[in-house]
Amino acid sequence: MDLQHKVVWVVGASSGIGAAVAREAQARGARVAITARRKPELDDVAGGAMLVLPADVTDDAAMVDCASTIEHRVGPIDVVVIAAGAWNSMDIADWDTQAFADTVQVNLIGTSNAIGAVLPSMLARRTGTIAGITSPAGYRGFPTVEAYGATKAGMLNLLEGLRAQAQPRGLHVTTIAPTAVRTRLSSASRLRLPFSIDADSAGRAICDGLERERLEITFPSRIALPIKLIRMTPVRIWPAVAERLTRDR
């Protein structure tokens, strides 16, 4: 797939990876629409060259409205990149059920809302790409990362199941799992994964993967495979490994 002339909707595009994907897709000739809650930041990203639709991903009706506005003003959506994400640290001594629920709302329910907004038109046209940004934090459980990690594990599962239903109907589902990208969210997180890259490099890697119609986009490449192997670490030694990866530096 060539992104040139494609209609690309990036959800969670006011900063970080989503903003970089939007800019990169636009530079490759795509017609881009962007959504997040912070309008001034969206306007900065758009630079007057993208359709800006401020909305909260947890509001399913607002997501449907955005998809319909894009369809009418730009054209049928070819690609949706779901980058909206929230981080909340969990403390065993002060377990915050609201913070857990808020994380689930943005990362998991929000992903479902964005998918639900694009599916009817993509299914009717028998074409379209749904790409969701999950995380290696979903591969295993990390201390303080329980809320974020559970939602990212849920996204991995959701996207895999969706792919099995979508493929025979002509749709493409891509799972994006960056290891470490320097953004607002990663600086708030205690998860310290090696070989971090900047958001613009992540935007290029994601657009390359979308154009190559990859089912899975993982980067940086030198760490992607070793990170996947953490799934094989025996349960007994995992707590010590996880503690090392989340220890304050």
Ligand X SMILES: NC(=O)c1ccc[n+]([C@@H]2O[C@H](COP(=O)([O-])OP(=O)(O)OC[C@H]3O[C@@H](n4cnc5c(N)ncnc54)[C@H](OP(=O)(O)O)[C@@H]3O)[C@@H](O)[C@H]2O)c1
What does the binding site for ligand X look like in residue numbers (CB under 6 A)? 12-18, 36-38, 41, 56-58, 83-86, 106, 133, 135, 178, 180-181, 183-186
Of 56 and 96, the one with the shorter C-beta distance to ligand X is: 56
For ligand X, the closer CB: 38 or 73: 38
**CB of residue 56 to ligand X, shortest distance in Å:** 4
Residue nearer to ligand X on the CB measure, 20 or 166: 20
Distance from C-alpha of 62 to C-alpha of 228, rounded to nearest angstrom:
35
Least separation in angstroms between residue 42's CB and ligand X is 7
Closest separation between CB of residue 67 and ligand X, Å? 14
Query: Which residue, 104 or 119, has its beta carbon nearer to ligand X?
Result: 104
| Least Å from the CB of residue 126 to ligand X | 28
Q: Which residue has the tokens 């707590």?
A: 239
Q: How far is the CB of 23 from ligand X (least distance, A)?
A: 13
Paired tokens of 125: 């046209």
Query: Least distance in Å: CB of 93 to ligand X?
Result: 25
Residue placing its CB nearer to ligand X in the complex, 56 or 208: 56
What tokens were used for 225? 């495979």
Tell me the residue nearest to ligand X as measured from the CB.
16
Query: Whole-number minimum distance, CB 154 to ligand X, in Å?
Result: 12
DSSP calls for the chain? ---TT-EEEEES-SSHHHHHHHHHHHHTT-EEEEE-S-HHHHHHHHTTSSEE----TT-HHHHHHHHHHHHHHT-S-SEEEE---------GGG--HHHHHHHHIIIIIHHHHHHHHHHHHHHHHT--EEEEE--GGGTS--TT-HHHHHHHHHHHHHHHHHHHHHGGGT-EEEEEEES-EESHHHHH-----SS-EEHHHHHHHHHHHHHTT-SEEEESHHHHHHHHGGGGS-TTTHHHHHHHHHS--
Q: Which is nearer to ligand X, 41 or 60 (CB)?
A: 41
Q: CA 155, CA 165: separation in Å to the nearest integer? A: 15
Evaluate the omega torsion of the peptide bond into residue 220 and state whether it is cis, within 30 degrees of 0.
yes
For residues 128 and 178, which CB has a smaller minimum distance to ligand X in the complex? 178
